[in-house]
Amino acid sequence: MKYFLASDHAGFKLKEYVKKLLLRKKLEVVDLGPESGKRVDYPDYGEKVALKVAAGAGRMGFLSCGTGIGMSMSANKVPGARAALVSTPFEARMAREHNDANILVVGGRPFNRNRVKRILNVWLKTGFGGGRHKRRVNKIRKLDRKYRG
């Protein structure tokens, strides 16, 4: 599995922390920026990650901005991206298990290391449940095709 990460300035510290956690687990990480906490526009980075993740199997993403709202809205404009704004481990599990979310989005303000670590660990160990959930995810894919070609 390859993990693509990005943030804006408000989510930069969180992205760097998540990158460190993923690398400790010896996972393949691609940091798409930014390289510092200098002010940038979140849609540019949300699109970068969403395009990489939607391009093929074996790809997951992580995004962060101040609240996570802008990043999730931006990423979800890319067909095939299923970005889930998550604030609890329970939401992380449900996003993966029920929605086959392929991009984890977490708000960078406030940034609580313990909470983020728990969310990330649940996200990483949870797979898609399939079954009745597969039918629903297929309907999401159908909406992508219907409204975005």
Peptide bond into 89 cis (omega under 30): no
- The predicted-structure confidence for 9-23, as pLDDT tens digits, reads as follows 999 999 999 999 999
Cα separation, 114 vs 53, in Å, equals 26
CATH code assigned at 15: 3.40.1400.10
| Averaged pLDDT, 63-88 | 97
| Averaged pLDDT, 55-84 | 96
9 catalytic residue (yes or no): no
Exactly one of 6, 65, 103, 120 is catalytic; which is it? 65
Exactly one of 93, 98, 117, 118 is catalytic; which is it? 98
Count Cα atoms within 13 angstroms, Cβ side, for 65: 19
Containing structural domain, residue 108: 2-148
93 catalytic residue (yes or no): no
Q: How many domains does the chain have?
A: 1
pTM, 2 dp = 0.95
